[in-house]
């Protein structure tokens, strides 16, 4: 993850690297005034230098204390909602593990990813107000944990879209193929790929920037190849962490909706509603942040012009859109479980078995019998 303030320190570090290289090159060049007598004769009026504009580095974008407090409160609230919602999802899915479907397996892993993502938010809440006070090792662990679950969450969303595509568009084939080993292999591959893509985050550590009154958890890459390395890792993030999952979701859900439009019945409309909400939630939460990061990547690669105003605007957008992305972890339980008929039915059964609600309250749910195949084919 990259917020506006961290992005500023990356930019500052890059500027200092360029300045250092320039100074080294200039130190190797020794120019004597006597070597250019004719030229200097015609340029003795040094008063013209007063017209040269004063050049100074860009002022950094730093959140105010009140904004940092708001960010801390927001992260804490999202953490509470995400932990509560995803724990409920895990309990319900594990309680009905004997009848768990392929979609349920992905939902289980998605709930774990969102839960682990959520537990990192209190650390960033404290960091927003007081700086990083948890040490160098925890900086690496929390950053790694957050990054792993960012990738695994998005990749699992793509897996769910593919699974629904197979269950609805190729329902007969999906019903014949009982593939628990394949599903476990896919989930293991998702987690392995997420860990591999997150390894560059281990370059993070404690850093106390000059002129800043607190310690931050910051990328410690240095040297001439640092900028190129950042661009490469960013491109991997854009392609594998967003574009490929997005393409899979758009294709699978488009074909699925087209297939459902060819059928009749109430369940078709419910499934279409869920699918549209799922796609919109994904785009609303993550599309702005990924677009902003992509613009920042182009700016770092000198592919678009960089000005102080533009840099500060990008930094502010990174902070705002990152908060929106965090929100996705707490709405996943609602989008993928609570509005699904199967999950709601299983949740009520669990509450009845524990004596939390009376059985009479579930009469309406039982009045609409739905088969297991219908659950896995058109419902979340």
Q: Say if 27 falls within a structural domain.
A: no
Q: Say if 75 falls within a structural domain.
A: yes
Domain with 200 in it: what CATH number? Answer: 1.20.1070.10
Helix orientation angle between 244-261 and 266-300, rounded to the nearest 10 degrees: 160
Confidence of residue 138 (pLDDT cuts 50, 70, 90): very high
Q: Say if 224 falls within a structural domain.
A: yes
* Percent with pLDDT over 70 in the chain: 71
Confidence of residue 237 (pLDDT cuts 50, 70, 90): confident
Distance CA 301, CA 80 (A): 39
pLDDT number for residue 283: 83
**Alpha helical stretches, state H, the chain:** 4-27, 37-41, 65-95, 102-119, 121-130, 136-169, 171-176, 180-198, 226-238, 244-261, 266-300, 308-333, 341-353, 363-366, 372-378
pLDDT number for residue 276: 75
Residue pLDDT, tens place only, 112-132: 998 998 999 999 999 888 889
Q: Say if 117 falls within a structural domain.
A: yes
Given a cut of 70, is residue 11 above it in pLDDT? no
Residue pLDDT, tens place only, 314-356: 888 988 898 888 888 888 787 766 676 777 788 888 888 877 7
Q: Say if 161 falls within a structural domain.
A: yes
Q: Say if 10 falls within a structural domain.
A: yes
Greatest alpha-carbon span in the chain: 103
Q: Say if 41 falls within a structural domain.
A: no
pTM of the model: 0.75
The predicted model gives 268-288 an average pLDDT of 76
Given a cut of 60, is residue 230 above it in pLDDT? yes
User: In which domain, by residue range, is 262 found?
Assistant: 4-19+61-378
Distance CA 172, CA 259 (A): 14
Residue located via tokens 């070597």: 35
Question: Using an 8 Å Cβ cutoff, are 99 and 372 in contact?
Answer: yes
Residue located via tokens 């019998």: 369
Q: Say if 24 falls within a structural domain.
A: no
Confidence of residue 371 (pLDDT cuts 50, 70, 90): very low
Tally of CA atoms within 13 A in the half-sphere of 32 that contains its CB: 2
The predicted model gives 345-368 an average pLDDT of 68
| Count of domains observed in the chain | 1
> Which of 245, 221, 236 has the alpha carbon at shortest distance from 147?
236
pLDDT number for residue 9: 55
Distance CA 24, CA 148 (A): 39
């Amino acid at each position: 993850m990259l917020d506006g303030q961290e992005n500023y320190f990356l930019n500052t570090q890059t500027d200092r690297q360029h300045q250092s290289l320039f100074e080294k090159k200039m130190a190797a060049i020794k120019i004597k005034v006597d070597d250019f007598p004719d030229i200097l004769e015609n340029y003795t009026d040094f008063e013209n230098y007063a017209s040269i504009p004063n050049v100074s580095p860009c002022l950094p974008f730093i959140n105010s204390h009140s904004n940092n407090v708001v960010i801390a409160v927001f992260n804490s609230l999202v953490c509470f909602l995400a932990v509560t919602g995803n724990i409920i999802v895990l309990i319900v899915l594990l309680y009905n593990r004997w009848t768990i479907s392929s979609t349920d397996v992905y939902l289980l892993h998605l709930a774990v990813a969102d839960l682990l993502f959520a537990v990192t938010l209190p650390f960033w809440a404290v960091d927003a107000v007081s700086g990083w006070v948890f040490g160098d090792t925890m900086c690496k662990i929390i950053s790694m944990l957050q990054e792993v679950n960012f990738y695994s969450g998005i990749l699992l969303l793509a897996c769910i879209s593919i699974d629904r595509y197979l269950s609805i568009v190729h329902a007969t084939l999906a019903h014949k193929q009982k593939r628990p080993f394949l599903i476990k292999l896919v989930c293991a591959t998702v987690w392995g790929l997420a860990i591999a893509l997150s390894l560059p985050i281990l370059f993070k550590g404690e850093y106390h920037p000059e002129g800043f009154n607190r310690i931050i958890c910051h990328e410690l890459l240095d040297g001439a190849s640092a900028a190129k390395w950042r661009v490469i890792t960013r491109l991997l993030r854009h392609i594998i962490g967003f574009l490929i999952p997005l393409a899979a979701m758009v294709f699978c859900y488009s074909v699925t909706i087209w297939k459902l439009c060819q059928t009749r019945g109430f369940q078709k409309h419910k499934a279409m509603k869920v699918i549209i909400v799922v796609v919109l939630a994904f785009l609303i939460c993550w599309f702005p942040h990924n677009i902003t990061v992509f613009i920042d990547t182009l700016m770092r690669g000198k592919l678009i012009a960089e000005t102080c105003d533009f840099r500060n605007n990008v930094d502010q957008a990174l902070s705002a859109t990152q908060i929106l992305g965090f929100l996705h972890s707490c709405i996943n339980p609602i989008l993928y479980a609570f509005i699904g008929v199967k999950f709601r039915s299983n949740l009520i059964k669990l509450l009845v078995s524990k004596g939390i609600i009376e059985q009479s309250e579930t009469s309406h749910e039982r009045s609409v019998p739905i088969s297991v195949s219908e659950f896995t084919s058109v419902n979340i």
